[in-house]
Amino acid sequence: MDITTRLTRLGRDPHAHEGAVNPPVQRGSTVLIADADELYSDDRKTYGLEGFSTHDRLEAALADLCGGTGAVLAPSGLQALTLAVMAVCTRSGDHILLTDSAYGPMRRFCTEVMAGYGVETTFFDPAATADELAALCRPTTRLLALESPGSLTLEMHDVPALVAVAQARGITTLVDDTWSAGLYWRPLEAGVDISMQALTKYQGGHADVLAGALVTRDAELTARLRRMHKLLGLGVAAEEAWLVLRGLRTMALRMAHQDRSARALASWLESRPEVARVIHPALPSHPQHAIWARDFTGAGGLFSFVLKPVPRAKVHAFLEACQIFSMGFSWGGFESLIIPCDPQVKRAVRTGAAEGPLLRISVGLEATEDLIGDLDRALASLR
């Protein structure tokens, strides 16, 4: 079946709960165990942090969507990333290769928290070739962490080429695939070991849920992640899991609209005299457009653009002049958002500044012509 059809059916079984279309929210903390021999068993759930049927249904749905064999939930996308790092890098002296365009909080976790435990992180150019990445690998390298496209600046990796380098050396690969939501790209099929989804974004879709997930294609790796999940005492509320399940039903339709609208806005911005450059992988002007066209079937609603040089006060005036676009740090919801990115951009490899202020747009479900009109009015403030 087409993915749009499958998303209406994944993670539910009406005949198992009195014929109701949606599964119930199963809350709980204490698990009653009849057999004393199973009280301390690692082979069954013994406490509510491990989740109940609501969580199980969501994990199964995500594994199916992403082409994996198992999934582990986390309280947020960042928590999912840090869970993966801690499950793979368990000893002082371990080494991480992290894309230089990574999500800022992931970057800070590696350089501030993991560094304190003796785990070193090396940043690499997002456009690195296989040979360039291979030169950075060490005998102690345990994790290759990717994000394609990259956070804020949307660089694309040649993922199959980089994964081949890691596989040849026994290095676990992790990719932040929140941008495609597992819908427009299937990194596990490209050989990636762990696909991270920030379920807060498109899967939730309504700006009212926090959750993340790690999807894998290997049962042993899933077990390692689940073990660390238990050791850290992580847990996702049943209501959050249920909201994500509900969001999955309409995700394909929402993202299709957001994709069309975002491409229209991006093309329109390319024609504006106030704009120096638009950064959208689906546009032919993007430096790695060919990689996007090869690996992806869609693009969602997130992209960035660079204004021609203007004072910061003018940028703030532009942002505050928007009436439909609001300022906020999340994305993937029904509401359109815009933020200035320069304070967030941190680079260790390519340190040159952009030609002007960098802004990121998340396109929501509003009418495309209304969004263009809103930006048109706001751009007038720059003049």
Residue 30: the pLDDT is 93
- If you compute the radius of gyration of the chain from its CA atoms, what whole number of angstroms results? 21
CATH topology of domain 3-246: Aspartate Aminotransferase; domain 2 (3.40.640)
Residue 352: the pLDDT is 65
Residue 346: the pLDDT is 83
Q: What residues does CATH 3.90.1150.10 cover in the chain? A: 252-382
Which ranges constitute the DSSP H helices of the chain?
A: 3-7, 53-66, 77-88, 104-108, 115-116, 130-134, 159-168, 219-231, 238-270, 289-295, 312-321, 368-379
Residues of the chain with pLDDT > 70, as a percent, come to 99
Q: What residues does CATH 3.40.640.10 cover in the chain? A: 3-246
Residue 67: the pLDDT is 95
The segments of the chain whose pLDDT lies below 70 read 351-353
pTM of the entire structure?
Answer: 0.95
Residue 43: the pLDDT is 81
Residue 331: the pLDDT is 95
Residue 96: the pLDDT is 98
- Yes or no: say if 196 and 179 are a contact pair by the CB < 8 Å rule: no
Residue 13: the pLDDT is 86
- Yes or no: say if 98 and 107 are a contact pair by the CB < 8 Å rule: yes
**Out of 3.40.710.10, 1.10.10.10, 3.30.390.50, 3.90.1150.10, which CATH number does the structure's domain 252-382 have?**
3.90.1150.10
